[in-house]
Chains A and B, each alone.
Chain A
């Protein structure tokens, strides 16, 4: 598994939807279950928001969703809210464990 590449930053307006990509995921079908996403607000510990590629832990808003196409996993946040402004990281557990470089989301 090569490095996981994320855009450095994305932005959107309240109410809009944004998508954060994570490229470098193994293209093996079964590998998708090893993808997870984390949200980190400044000065806080990261929080798991998507696991096994598409599943939301209990308590996580259904505005967050995960998907995959080829070797790219994606996190979509719909109905953007000011509180969504944070850093987002993908993580994959295939062959070796690694995080993507992180994406800073700005809600304008």
Chain B
């Protein structure tokens, strides 16, 4: 059974940094694209970043490009998101997601880790 477990969420001050982690199990991690999707309180879903199988291609939504970095460690079955220069608009529940077998969609979701940016 596929499991995605996020961690690392916290309350941080504006301008601060944070590193989110996602521990994956139940599938061959190195064979799937992975991504982060976030959801601000009471708001809709927002795709944040994606990374390819080898970790050599990264894609970002414009609002986080240059501030966030997605990475993966296939040996550790783990996905990461480094967040920096955080602003209040980055406050959200951050989900780790796995690609569908056929690609092009997000078949598995973790339960999310909460990032709160406030002074």
Write the nearest CB–CB distance from B62 to chain A, whole angstroms: 8
Q: Kindly identify which residue among A48, A52, A89 contacts B44, using a CB–CB cutoff of 8 Å.
A: A89
Q: Decide yes or no whether B58 CB sits under 8 A from chain A.
A: no
- Interchain CB contact under 8 A, B95 and A51: no
Q: Decide yes or no whether A57 CB sits under 8 A from chain B.
A: yes
- Interchain CB contact under 8 A, B95 and A36: no
Hey, which bits of chain A sit against chain B, CB under 8 A? 33-34, 36, 38, 40, 45-48, 51-52, 55, 57, 87, 89, 91, 93, 96-102
Q: Which residues of B contact A36 (CB under 8 A)?
A: 100, 104-106
A33 to B112, CA, bound (A): 27
Q: Which residues of B contact A89 (CB under 8 A)?
A: 44-45
- Interchain CB contact under 8 A, B107 and A51: yes
- Interchain CB contact under 8 A, A45 and B112: yes
With A36-B106, A52-B104 known to touch, is A45 a contact of B111 (CB < 8 Å)?
Answer: yes
Q: B108-119 CB contact bits vs A (8 Å, 1 = yes)?
A: 011110000000
Interface residues in B, total, Cβ within 8 A: 20
Q: Kindly identify which residue among A45, A93, A101 contacts B105, using a CB–CB cutoff of 8 Å.
A: A93
Q: Which residues of A contact B61 (CB under 8 A)?
A: 96-98
Q: Decide yes or no whether B71 CB sits under 8 A from chain A.
A: no
- Interchain CB contact under 8 A, B102 and A51: yes
Q: Which residues of A contact B47 (CB under 8 A)?
A: 91, 97-99
A5 to B45, CA, bound (A): 13
Q: B80-119 CB contact bits vs A (8 Å, 1 = yes)?
A: 0000000000000001000010101111011110000000
With A91-B47, A98-B47, A101-B44 known to touch, is A45 a contact of B109 (CB < 8 Å)?
Answer: yes
- Interchain CB contact under 8 A, A45 and B95: yes
- Interchain CB contact under 8 A, A48 and B111: no
Q: Decide yes or no whether B73 CB sits under 8 A from chain A.
A: no
Chain A residue at minimal CB-CB distance from B108: A48
Q: Which residues of B contact A97 (CB under 8 A)?
A: 35, 47, 50, 59, 61
